[in-house]
Chain A
Amino acid sequence: MDRFEERLGARARRARQPLSCLFEITPRCNLRCHFCYVALDPYQGPYLSTDQACRVLDIVERTGVLWLTLTGGEIFSRRDFAALYRHALGKGFLVTLYTNGTMVSDEVATLLAEHPPFSVEVSIYGADAEHYEATTGVAGSFVRFERGVDRLRRAGVALLMKCPISTLSATHVRAMVQWCADRGLPFKADPVIDARHDGGQQPTLYRIEPRQVLALRDEIHELRHGKPRVAGPLPECTVQGDDDGPEELYTCGAGRVAFFVDALGNASHCVIDREPSFPILDMAWDELWAAMGQWVTQPLPATAPCSGCSLRGGCSNCPARARLATGDPYSKDTYQCDITHAIHGLPPARHTHITARPLAACTA
C-alpha cells in the first residue's frame, strides 16, 4: 500500500483515465449573483430526475472517477439532495460539495455530520450584509449565509471558503480574510470572473483589471500567511500539461483526467466551455470519452495566436476562455493573456486579429 495521489495522477493523465468529475446537479439557485456563469434557465429543463441523476453517478463510478464534486446552481435547492448525496457516498466517491451556504438547514447539517463529505467549499461574497448582498442581489442572504456556515462548522465538515474577486468585492478582501480567520476557516480567492458558459459577456463587466489581479493575489497571500508571496503563475488549473506537449488544444486536465456533467445530463470536458457535449445517459461511455479526447488533444493550429507562446503552459487563457471571449476556441481571451504577461513582468501582448464578442453574445 502507498499514497494514491502521489503515484497515480501522472499515470492517469498519460492514459487519459478520468479521476474527477464535476456534476452540476441543478442550475437553480436562490441567489442572483451579477456575475454568475451558469446560463441554463432555471425554469426550463427537464433537468435530471433523482433516478436519472443516480444513473449518471453509476456511470461516473464505472469510469473509475474517485473525486466527485456536486455543484449548481445551489445544490441544496434540490429537494432530493440527500438521496443523491447518499447514493454518491455509497459508490465510494470522495465527494466535495460546492454551495453558497445559505440553504444549509439543520437537516442538511445533520446529514453532513452523520455522513461527512470529503470537503465543502462555500462561496463568500462579503463580510457584511452590504457587500455580500451587493453581489447576491437578495436581501437577507448574508444572515442566512452566516447561519449556514455556523451549521457547517458545528457539523465538523472540512470547509474551504472561496471568494470570486469582482469589482464589487475587490476593496473588501481584507475584511473577508479576517471574517474567515476569526472562524478558523481557510480562505481562497479566485480573481478571475468568467463569462457565462453560453458566451454571455455580462459577468466580465465585474472583472478587475489584470494588474489589480496581481496586487490582490499578493495582498491575500500576505494576509493569510504573514509573508510576501513568491512570484509564480496563477493556480488556475491544477493539472498542467507535461509530456503531452503544450501544442495540443488543451493543456489542462479537461477531458484527460476530468470531465463535467450538466443538469441536463450532457457531459463535456469543461464546466465553462460545454461544447462539444454528449448525452451521458444515452451514449456508450467509451464512445463518449473517445470523442471528448479527440476534441481536447487536437493540435493547436499553427496560425492560432497562442501557438508557439512560451507562456502557454502556465497561462490562464485556454480554448474554453478563448471561445467565451471571442466565439473561437483557437483564438485567445486577451484579459487572461494580459494577466499572464503581468505575472511575468512583461508588457501586454499585441492583440491583433482578435475580435471580442459583443456584450450580449449568445444569450437568448
Chain B
Amino acid sequence: MRNLLWSATLATSALVALSTHLVRADEELKIGVVAAESGSFVSAGNTIVAAANLATKQINEAGGIKIGGKTYKIKLYIRDNRTDVNVTIAAARELVDDIGVKAIWGTETLDFSVSMAKITAAAKVLQFSGNSSLGAVLDDKSVAPGGWLHYTFQTEPQEWQRSGSTAKGVLTLLTPLMPHPPKHSIVFVGNDATGQYLSSHYVKALEAEGQQVDLVKYPPDTTDFSPLLTRIKGMNPDIVHFWYNGDSTLTAFPQALKLDVAPAYFLFGVDPGIYQERQLKSDKPVALSCVPVCWGAAPNPAVQDYFKKYFELGAAKGPQSSVSLLYYDYFFMYAKALEEVGSLDNPDAVVDAILKMKYQGVVSPVPLTFNPHHQVTFATEVSAVQPGTSDQFKAAVEQPPAAPPPGDPGG
C-alpha cells in the first residue's frame, strides 16, 4: 500500500512538473490595441481591431513566437478609445502601466497617436500607427534614442509618396478614357485637419503631373453636396478628385453624377467592392483608390487571400476595410524582430531590428522597409472602372516618386 501511495505521489509530481513545463512553453506576449469601436471613427477603428485579431490568430495557430528558447502566444488587450483623445490616453496608460504590454497598435488619427506616443515612449513600448500625417513630427531628433518617437513606427507611407503614387495612377488610367488629355483638376476635400494636410500634398502631386489645380473644401459631415458640386460644375473641371474621406465621397459622387459636374472623376478611399455593391454606374470615366490596397479588386493573390480570411472572421465590408492592411503586416514584422533579438526586454534592439528588416508582407509586392524616420514606403493601388459598368476594373500600382514634388516640403 505504501509503495502504491509513493508511486502515486511520484506520478502526480511528474504530471505537475510536466504541466508546469507545458504552461511555460506557452508564455504570453501582451500586445495592446487602441482603436475606435464606437464614436465617429468606428469605421476605421474596427478595421484595426479586425486586422489585429487576424494576425494574432494566424501567429498563434502557427505555433507562436520563439523568443530566447521560449514560445510566446500573443494575447491582445483591445481598448475602445470611443473616438475620444482622453479615453485614448487613459487606455494607453492602462495598457502600459497596469497590463504591461510590449507594443501597442493604433490609432485612427494623428492627434490620438501622438498623445499615445508620449506614454509609450516613456515606458519603451513600441507603437505602430497608420497615420501618414505622423511625418510632420517624425524627424532626426524625435526618432533618435531618447527621442519621444523612438519607439513609434508610421505604418502608412509618407503623404507625398502616397499622393505621388496616387496622382500618377489616376492620370495614367483616366487619360486614355477621356476625349482630350485632362488639364484642369479640382480637388474636393473635407475641411478638417486631416483633409487640409492630405490635400496640400495631393495638390502638389497633381501639379507635378502638369495639372492646373483648384481646391474646394467642404465642411466635415456634409451630406448635401449639390450646392458645392454645382459651383464646381461652373468652374469647368476636367477631373474632380474626391479626396480623402471615403464615406463623404460615396455621398457626394452620386450627386455629382446626377448634376453632370465633370467629364471624369477620381474617388479616393472608395473600394471597387463598395462601388460594385452599391451598383454605382457612370458613363464618365471613374478612377478609385484605396488606402492602401483594394479588397474589391485585389491586385495579387496574397491580398485576395488576406481579405478572404479577414472577412471570414466577421469584419464588415466597408469603404475603410482596406485600412486594416496598414496594421496587419507589422504584427509579423514585430514578431520576427523579437525572434531575432531573442528577448522581450530589449525594446531598443527590437527597434534596431525592425529598422534593418526587409519584410515581404501582404500590402506590397515590394518588401516593406522603414526609413530612418520610422516611416514605411509602399505604393497605393488605383483602379479605373469601365464606363457604364459597376464591376469591370483595371488596376494600376504606380510606385511612389523618389522625392517630394516641387513646393512640397515632404514630411
Are A and B subunits of one complex?
no
